[in-house]
Amino acid sequence: MKQNLIYIGPEPSHATRAISRRSKASLRGALVVKLPGFERPRIIQFESALEYAFLCLMLVRTDIHHIWDQPTAVQYADASGLPAKHVFDFLVTTTGGERVAVAIKPMQRVIQQNFVSELERVAAATPKQFADRVMLITDQHLDRRAAAEAARQLARSRPPFTEVAA
């Protein structure tokens, strides 16, 4: 019996802010991802090569349940006490239920912008219902070879976009 297949495209990104599509200095893009926490494949966006490498490394792990790109902004008080907002790059949920808010920046920028102290203020203001902890990832934390291998593994195991028509 012949089965008729229908195309079902991926869900759009659930990001709360649009990423800039133009950049002279960094990589912009999106991956179609299927995780246990997604009903169907979904688009996840990234704004840099570091974010792409991190995303690839997360997507090949078996303990990752859900990833939210550009999640809801966290309100905090900046160094001068003024209200500010921070949007994490990803909110990663493990199969054990832990939610980790991830900020990804090149180490050079972390140092130049004194980002660690800003992230400490953001972490202190992050509601527990949003994330259990905050994590900073820099280029010094990522293994480029492992990320490249993860990207190759993801390319070989793309989610299907067809299903049998009823």
Question: Chain centroid to CA 30: how far?
Answer: 10
pTM: 0.86
Containing structural domain, residue 142: 5-18+25-164
CB 30 within 8 A of CB 44: yes
pLDDT number for residue 153: 92
In this predicted structure, what is the pLDDT of residue 95?
Answer: 96
CATH code of residue 130: 3.40.1350.10
pLDDT at residue 19 in the model: 72
Contact 125, 81 (CB under 8 A): no
**pLDDT tens, position by position, for the chain (166 residues)?**
566 777 778 888 888 877 766 665 667 788 888 899 998 889 999 999 999 999 999 999 999 999 999 999 999 999 999 999 999 999 999 999 999 999 999 999 999 999 999 999 999 999 999 999 999 999 999 999 999 999 999 888 876 665 655 5
Specify the number of domains making up the chain: 1
Q: Give the separation between CA 49 and CA 66, rounded to whole angstroms.
A: 21
CA–CA gap between residue 144 and residue 53 (Å, rounded): 7
Q: Under 8 Å CB-to-CB from 132, ≥6 apart: which residues?
A: 98, 99, 100
